[in-house]
Amino acid sequence: MRGKSWCGVLVLAIACAGARRPPLQPANPLPARAPAVATAPIAAATAGDDAGTPPTDAAAKLQLSAATMPPPAPLAELLALPGSATTSLGGPSSGKLVGGIALPDSGPGFVHNHERPDAARFGSIELVQLIARAAERVAQQLPGSVLVVNDLGLEAGGPIAQHGSHQNGRDADILYYTLDQKRVPIPSVGVPLDPTGKGWDFKDLSIASDDQRVQLDAPRSWRFVQALLELAPESVQRIFMVEHVRSMLLAQADKVHAPKAVRERFADVTCQPEAPHDDHLHLRLFCTPQDMAAGCLDSPPVYPWRRDALKALGLSPMIASAYTKPEHDAAHKRITTPKQARAKAGRMDARVLQFLHEREVWLKRPHPGRAYCR
């Protein structure tokens, strides 16, 4: 039996992928779910839900929901749906979703991570459509691109294991595009990236012989976020990512002479949150005016251009209130801590221990002092 995987001890349980190799060429437009691929076991157990239930109960709830949920609609049908197909209610950390849409197993340029719960692949129609369209644009312009998408949210929204937000259908975790040592594109398994853009896919934490070096694919990762901001410039509220990957993508934007407006918008909406997001980015969309009328609430910040856009429609920003203490405590119960994960990881080889030591440098949330990232 294989030992514990690196995902558990590295702790970004919200992003631990474990998908050793999704298909390199997603079929068009919506194939059946690909056969399972060999994976190392995920060490981090799902954290308790908002009621403080044990991890096994939370996992069971996800499995039950997945067993009863409807199959995803064909991608062409999803892309044709109007915004009224779904409704987001409340805020990202205290909301619900009406009519949640499942991200397909795969489509042109993307796959849903087979190792993530099927029950956690639902979002608003705006979110699902944007991810699919942006991934397709990258694949068209940079052939061989495969975006790996992790969790969105539950079909009806609400609290979700391993996440503090993702509750109203407007959040998605998306793995960075990656390369192998020969700079050949490989589907990402959610490897934390160091300040040089490199990382280790440790697979089995207890042995070094199966460790694989990977690195950020900056051209494809930049092209994806550029596509997001080109396709929905008024909709992207936040892209959470670790500070050093943000810097690398800005450098890539300069290298390819990206449009100034896109580069500046990316600089404004990106920020490293409390969890570093060194293995994935977290996309969040603003509420649509229609959903605002139903009670959808945004989170800070509210940019000047967002205020102007709402003002032109006769609207004002609607912001979710800060966590109450019970909500804050419930959110933390759903997330595995570094201490908990290390306790479950078991024996680790020297390279893993060295990487964890090095990672402490960027685990702490930086305070860059930018206008929208404090």
The answer to whether 38 and 20 are in contact (CB under 8 A) is yes
Cis amide linkage into residue 259, ω under 30° from 0: no
* Short-list 172, 234, 190, 153, CA closest to 22: 190
* Burial readout 333-359 (b: 16 or more C-beta within 10 A, e: otherwise): bbbbebebbbeebeebbeebeebbeeb
**How high does pLDDT run on average in the chain?**
82
| pLDDT classification of 369: cutoffs 50, 70, 90 | confident
- Rounded CA separation 277/163 (Å): 13
| pLDDT classification of 70: cutoffs 50, 70, 90 | low
> Which pLDDT score is estimated for 31?
32
Q: What percent of the chain is modeled with pLDDT above 70? A: 79
> Which pLDDT score is estimated for 36?
28
Q: Is 186 exposed, middle or buried (0-12, 13-18, 19+ CB in 10 A)?
A: buried
Q: What is the pLDDT of residues 287-334, one digit of tens each?
A: 999 999 999 999 999 999 999 999 999 999 999 987 667 766 777 777
- C-alpha 252 chain-centroid distance: 21
> Which pLDDT score is estimated for 43?
27
> Which pLDDT score is estimated for 173?
97
Rg, Å, the chain Cα set: 19
The answer to whether 147 and 186 are in contact (CB under 8 A) is no
Q: What is the dihedral of CA 356, 361, 363, 364, to 10 degrees?
A: 150
- C-alpha 81 chain-centroid distance: 23
The answer to whether 38 and 236 are in contact (CB under 8 A) is no
> Which pLDDT score is estimated for 276?
85
The answer to whether 150 and 190 are in contact (CB under 8 A) is yes
> Which pLDDT score is estimated for 216?
98
Long-range contacts of 195-199 (CB under 8 A, 24+ apart): 195/244, 195/361, 195/362, 197/244, 197/245, 197/248, 199/278, 199/279, 199/355
Q: What is the pLDDT of residues 7-17, one digit of tens each?
A: 544 443 333 43
- Rounded CA separation 283/53 (Å): 28
- CA triple 352-357-360, angle to 5 deg: 125
Convert 118-166 into a string of H (helix), E (strand) and C (coil): HHHCEECHHHHHHHHHHHHHHHHHCCCCCEEECCCECCCCCCCCCCCCC
More confident residue, 226 or 374: 226
- C-alpha 239 chain-centroid distance: 9
> Which pLDDT score is estimated for 330?
74
**Coil, helix or strand at residue 329:** helix
More confident residue, 81 or 68: 81
- For the cut 90, the answer to whether the pLDDT of residue 261 exceeds it is yes
Domains (ranges, CATH) in the chain?
A: 6-29+43-363 (3.30.1380.10)
> Which pLDDT score is estimated for 323?
65
* Short-list 227, 307, 282, CA closest to 259: 227
Residue 104 phi/psi, 5-degree rounding, is -60, 160
Tell me the helices (H) and strands (E) count for the chain, helix number first. Answer: 12, 15
> Which pLDDT score is estimated for 326?
74
The answer to whether 74 and 31 are in contact (CB under 8 A) is no
**Rounded average pLDDT over 256-276:** 95
> Which pLDDT score is estimated for 72?
61
Q: What is the pLDDT of residues 199-226, one digit of tens each?
A: 999 988 888 888 999 999 999 999 999 9
Q: Which of 89-98, 210-219, 244-253, 268-277 has the lowest mean pLDDT?
A: 268-277
Q: Which of 91-105, 248-262, 332-346, 359-373 has the lowest mean pLDDT?
A: 332-346
Q: What is the pLDDT of residues 141-167, one digit of tens each?
A: 999 999 999 999 999 999 998 888 999
β-pairing verdict for 270-271 and 236-240 = parallel
- For the cut 90, the answer to whether the pLDDT of residue 67 exceeds it is no
**Rounded average pLDDT over 23-47:** 32
**Rounded average pLDDT over 73-84:** 90
For the chain, what percentages of helix, strand and coil (3-state, to nearest 5) are there?
A: 35, 15, 50
- For the cut 50, the answer to whether the pLDDT of residue 56 exceeds it is no
> Which pLDDT score is estimated for 4?
53
Q: Which of 27-36, 105-114, 199-208, 260-269 has the lowest mean pLDDT?
A: 27-36
Long-range contacts of 30-34 (CB under 8 A, 24+ apart): 30/72, 30/74, 30/75, 30/104, 30/105, 30/106, 30/107, 31/105, 31/106, 32/105, 33/105, 33/114, 34/105, 34/106, 34/111, 34/114
